[in-house]
A and B are shown apart, each in its own frame.
Chain A
Amino acid sequence: MTSLTETTGPLTDPLPALTTRGLGFRWEPSQPMLRFPDLDIPRGEHLFLQGASGSGKSTLLSLLSGMQIPHSGTVSILDTELQRLASSARDRFRADHIGVIFQQFNLVPYLSALANVTLPCRLSPRRRQNTRSDPEKDATELLKLLAIPEDHWQRKVTRLSIGQQQRIAAARALIGAPGIILADEPTSALDTDNRDRFLDLLLGLANERGSSVVFVSHDRGLSSHFHHQIHLGGAS
């Protein structure tokens, strides 16, 4: 496997993966506007987003994923301006181009590990095509690479350990090579060994697939793995 440092040259691509300009958002009209620094991430490069709780990390991810529309400014993912899309088109765009990993409860409890991984390919024909129309094969490869034992693949995901669940979530985010992977504190429920291993695997596989990772964490120690780092302050 390729070594993973910030100096590893990803597939250089002149196109930006992610561009934001003058983003501002508030959940309630009475609240002060959250303002975010402008981002410019070229394709295949990774961003580390660090900030205290309440600094708007999750809000920024909601804006980047198209689940929320900013009150001011623009978000462009892979040269598509998200607020120009209707909400159903944003859902389709998210299925096509964005992989997501949460802190925990990442999986659909009634689907097997394998079915959880192939879920994006069932929602998006594009992600399915990217697996050369064989999501199962791609999923099993990813699960193997992420060291999920084969007898766990058909098992109920609720019976797997947190570390395994997070790695299955990573496989789901990676499958079908989306342009961008949003990871919201995916390692905060893991111990240090598991955390480093998880990060290595995630970034290594993202590099192989040319996906950009936006990684949110309060753990500054991880920032050296990324091409770009941003620190979010409190509400301003």
Chain B
Amino acid sequence: MNPRLAFSLALASLWHRRRVLTLVCLTLTLSVSLLLGIQYLRTEVRQSFTSTISGTDLIVGARSGQLNLLLYTVFHIGDATNNIRWSTFEKLREDPRIDWLIPISLGDSYRGYRVVATDRNFLEHFRYGQEQPVTLADGEWFSDVFHVVLGAGVARELQHQTGEEVTLSHGGGRTSFSNHEDTPFRITGILEATGTPVDQAVYISLEGMEAMHVGWESGVAIPGRTLTPEKARGMTFAPEAITAAYVGLRNPILTFRLQRALNQSAEEPLSAILPGVALSELWRLMGQFEKALLGITGFVVITSLVGLVAVLLTLQTQRAHEIAVLRATGASTGLVASLHVIECLALALVSCLMAMVVGAALLAGIAPWLLDTYGISLTLRPLNRTEWALLATVPAAAALVGLVPAFGTWRRTRTQGLGEITGQ
């Protein structure tokens, strides 16, 4: 057999049948794009997911499971089981092992977005991604009781500007019937987009949280007992409890020791979690879903390959004459059969190449829109080893399915007479 001749014949044959094969190639391209795209997004989303929070050594909250604590503090999903006492927080402040603390107090919402009561430490010490700090896109961090800073997603979605006044709602939910109407907040700043849940929340001071709940002790506003901004100005508010705290240590080696100490705290039942560990456990849970998705996409590729074989088998009858000619001219059964495998392989390679181009173009096209609309940042990067390996399975599988028509041709041409048309 002459590989060079086989290749040039196979390529000429593909070009000759390009009209039919373009469709097959397109199907394969789309399915490979899907496969590659999902694998790519998996990696990217995982990357962006695991970099939701960084630089924080421990998250401390009331006793609960680590996933629950992670979900309600970092992702604003679900509710806190309990609060931690302010006195406990103050004690942590005095702990020499602790470098900084970010208090987090949750419970209210603004048109569906969580209200996070915190302090200036959030701006100074909170980090996400590759140790990136949160910065203000516009205005400044809150300095007054009734100041609010909006996450980038909230400001974009609700078209808010700094200087506007907003009314926060009591409790969670998109449509709340009990609003803190007496204590409107003024927007002093809007945060830069981070592509994390930080974008999907609004930030007020702990004092602000306390101030708007004066008169709400029973769960609803008692008329006459709530504050007005004017009355509140002269007062000082000390929170009785907060929901959780982000902890940064002076020496991260002490993380486990402090975690154990907090988990065994005799004064109050606390839970301290390592955000990285909790994040990867959460990802393992969600990983099942994306694995299933990848599996389904794999089947889509297999379906396209089966379609490819179906088309090649149909074309085989058209090729009976040319095979008779090639055999009569002295081409071996092996050469004639190898044409099928080479053609399948070539089609798969072209599809993979086109899939990469389509994928890159699509990604470049939607990345700005995704960042704008959903705050998800996707970057165009070279494929990693796993993605290359996944891509390589496509031509390998194609060559394998090419063996089906190849074997048929080989079997028939072995017993063919001179000029005899087989395969019909």
Interface residue ranges, A against B (CB under 8 Å): 58-59, 61-62, 64-65, 67-68, 87-88, 91-96, 98, 100, 102-103, 105-111, 115, 119-120, 122-124, 172, 182, 184
Contact = CB atoms under 8 A, between A and B. Distances in A.
Given A91-B330, A94-B330, A123-B330, A58 B2 contact: no
B330 A96 contact: yes
Nearest to A173: B329
Interface string B385-424: 0000000000000000000000000000010111110000
Contact of B330 (A58, A61, A87, A124): A124
B321 interface: yes
Contacts of A92: 330, 332
B419 A123 contact: no
B329 A58 contact: no
A122 B5 contact: yes
A65 B418 contact: yes
Contacts, number: 88
A88 B9 CA distance: 19
Nearest to A123: B330
* Max chain B Cβ within 10 angstroms of own Cβ: one of A58, A64, A98, A105: A105
Q: Nearest 8 CB-CB pairs, A to B?
A: A95-B330, A110-B16, A62-B417, A105-B321, A100-B328, A62-B418, A94-B330, A91-B332
B12 interface: yes
B377 to A, nearest CB: 48
Contact of B419 (A87, A88, A100, A120): A100
A96 B332 CA distance: 13
A120 B330 contact: yes
A220 to B, nearest CB: 22
B13 A67 contact: no
Contacts of B416: 67
B15 interface: yes
Contacts of B418: 58, 61-62, 64-65, 67-68, 100, 182, 184
Interface in B320-340: 321-322, 324-334
A105 B323 CA distance: 11
Contact of B417 (A59, A91, A96, A109): A59
Given A61-B418, A65-B418, A184-B419, A98 B330 contact: yes
* Max chain B Cβ within 10 angstroms of own Cβ: one of A59, A100, A115, A172: A100
28 contacts: A58-B418, A59-B417, A61-B418, A62-B418, A64-B418, A67-B420, A91-B330, A91-B331, A91-B332, A94-B328, A94-B330, A95-B330, A98-B330, A100-B328, A100-B419, A102-B324, A103-B419, A105-B324, A106-B325, A109-B321, A110-B12, A110-B16, A110-B17, A111-B12, A115-B12, A124-B330, A184-B418, A184-B419
A105 B331 CA distance: 17
Contact of A88 (B5, B15, B332): B332
Nearest to B319: A109
State the majority secondary structure of interface residues on A: helix
A224 B17 CA distance: 44
Contacts of B16: 109-110
* Max chain A Cβ within 10 angstroms of own Cβ: one of B13, B321, B325, B418: B418
Nearest to A184: B419
Interface in B1-40: 2, 5, 9, 12-13, 15-17
Contacts of A106: 325
A184 B332 CA distance: 21
B329 A95 contact: yes
A87 B414 contact: yes
Nearest to B415: A68
Contact of B329 (A105, A123, A184): A123
Given A94-B330, A105-B321, 10 more contacts: A62-B420, A67-B417, A95-B329, A95-B330, A100-B328, A102-B325, A109-B321, A110-B322, A123-B331, A172-B329
Contacts of B17: 110
A94 B2 CA distance: 15
B424 to A, nearest CB: 13
A7 B321 CA distance: 37
Contacts of B332: 88, 91-92
A108 B326 contact: yes
Contacts of A103: 419
Contacts of B2: 122-123
A106 B419 CA distance: 9
A108 B330 contact: no
Contacts of A61: 418-419
Contacts of B9: 108, 110-111
Nearest to A185: B419
B328 A65 contact: yes
A102 B420 CA distance: 10
B325 A105 contact: yes
A115 B9 CA distance: 10
Contacts of A119: 329
Contacts of B328: 65, 67, 94, 100, 102
Given A58-B417, A102-B419, A107 B325 contact: yes
A217 to B, nearest CB: 14
Interface string B254-269: 0000000000000000
Contacts of B417: 58-59, 62, 67-68
A58 B12 contact: no
Contacts of A96: 330
Nearest to B330: A95
Nearest to B318: A109
A96 B326 CA distance: 14
A105 B322 CA distance: 8
Nearest to B4: A122
Contacts of B13: 110
Contacts of A111: 9, 12
* Max chain B Cβ within 10 angstroms of own Cβ: one of A64, A67, A115: A67
A110 B420 CA distance: 20
Contacts of B12: 110-111, 115
B46 to A, nearest CB: 47
